[in-house]
Amino acid sequence: MPTESGSCSAARQAKQKRKSHSLSIRRTNSSEQERPGLPREMLEGQDSKLPSSVRSTLLELFGQIEREFENLYIENLELRREIETLNERLAAEGQAVDGAELSKGQLKTKASHSTSQLSQKLKTTYKASTSKIVSSFKTTTSRAVCQLVKEYIGHRDGIWDVSVARTQPVVLGTASADHTALLWSIETGRCLVKYTGHVGSASGDQTAHIWRYAVQLPTPQPVADSSQIGGEDEVECSDKDEPDADGDASSDCPTIRAPLTSLKSHQGVVMAADWLVGGKQAVTASWDRTANLYEVETAELVHSLTGHDQELTHCCTHPTQRLVVTSSRDTTFRLWDFRDPSIHSVNVFQGHTDTVTSAVFTVGDNVVSGSDDRTVKVWDLKNMRSPIATIRTDSAINRINVCVGQKIIALPHDNRQVRLFDMSGVRLARLPRSSRQGHRRMVCCSAWSEDHPVCNLFTCGFDRQAIGWNINIPALLQEK
């Protein structure tokens, strides 16, 4: 019988050791760190009655719990340093005030105030960290309440934005870096019309276009059960797994080549546009650091909203009031009030440490903002000095969208994930992503369709496709 050489045997043992160590749970105690990782066979258990897919899911969840505790440990170290800094500041302030020593009562008052602040901060940190750890167990159950229903494939470059019509007929719209905008049948995934009027990435030609087309929806087809698509485990996907651009679903649909109206006052890329309540005016946001308000019928520039220090990233209008919110790379977002025709007020809100990628209105008096600083903040318009809730994530956040009726926030990420949270910051679910479903590159935008029976959440990304998801909201809220 042939024998293995010493070098081959050593290499195989080293490989097995690395494999087993990667599946073991690391210990924070230094004495535990010295212990070798348990073999995979012992972790999975030879006599286990659990299916291999369930055991793999458990190992994945334990790995997530480990990472959550590591993040909590790091946050606690930072908090401890802040406590030491505050204690030093308190001691320095207690030495003298105008040359006289503070009385014991004054020192006690200051200490009580600082302790109260620290206590509140500790509670907030603990609550957020606990929420993140508990939410790790929702990976499996979220697959049952969030199912991929339809893929909309036809663009030849990344999709920047996705939107759903607010009136009948309800169709899906996408804007892409391939210079086109498409309208889709939500039920069939068929492209209904292609718009090719832009000469740059929509809308990299510094204009916003208004165009019209009479849509005739095709007969809906039975929807396939997507619960059988893909496996349980997530995998990394390469560029070769992207949809094939040769199968262009938009090649045989009607084409519009010129707009009814072109809005041309910007000097930079137009990043977003929205209709003001009533539909007679529209607002646009641009990299030229301004937002413009136009009369739709005449294309006349009514107001140029200036004040941001850097490029704008998004704009959003209130569904029932003449309010506009704009976000910018200058780490702020601004609220513009046009309710009084004679007075146009503006308020500047700070709270992020990096680019504010979007800010949107919700039901009532709330605004939700997302940022490249990996946080989402919920604000009360009546008191904008500090957020009423903060969501901390592990990746930069792109254009968020809120399901107004159910108060659920959809968070598209740079790391290809899409997560759902409620307005208080509790994580509800993560959209499933595997080798055969979900986005394969950065997810740029999301849009809710609250009353649509087939799909009620849509996402788009740099993988050139939009995806329609069915969200079982009652089950989602029941899990909460």
The helix/strand/coil state of 374 is: coil
Identify which has the larger pLDDT, 472 or 244. Answer: 472
If pLDDT is split at 50, 70 and 90, which confidence band does 141 have? low
Query: Is residue 97's pLDDT more than 50?
Result: no
Q: Which of 111-125, 213-227, 261-275 holds the top average pLDDT?
A: 261-275
Task: Supply the pTM of this predicted model.
Answer: 0.69
Q: What is the pLDDT of residue 374?
A: 96
The pLDDT value given to residue 38: 47
Does 100 have pLDDT greater than 50? no
CB atoms within 10 A of CB 379: 24
The residues, ordered by sequence, that sit 6+ positions from 245 with a Cβ below 8 Å of its Cβ are: 156, 464
The residue written with tokens 């394969």 in the block is 440
Q: How far apart are the first and last CA of the chain?
A: 60
Domains and CATH numbers, the chain: 145-212+251-477 (2.130.10.10)
Lowest mean pLDDT among 77-81, 205-209, 365-369, 463-467: 77-81
Structure tokens at 278: 């009533």
Nearest CA among 218, 216, 178, 184 for reference residue 200: 178
Output the CA–CA distances (angstroms, integers) from residue 112 to 91, 117, 228, in the order listed: 13, 9, 58
Element (H, E) at 124: helix 104-135
User: Where is pLDDT greater, at 148 or 166?
Assistant: 148
Amino acid at 121: K
What does the pLDDT average to over 398-412? 93
Both structure tokens of 386: 């500090």
pLDDT at 467 over 60: yes
Q: What does the pLDDT look like over 156-210, one tens digit per residue?
A: 999 999 999 988 889 999 999 999 999 999 999 999 999 999 988 878 899 999 9
Proportion of the chain above pLDDT 70, given as a percent? 72
* The predicted structure's pLDDT at residue 390: 96
Higher pLDDT, 96 or 153: 153
Greater confidence, 85 or 278?
A: 278
Question: What is the average per-residue pLDDT within 331-344?
Answer: 90
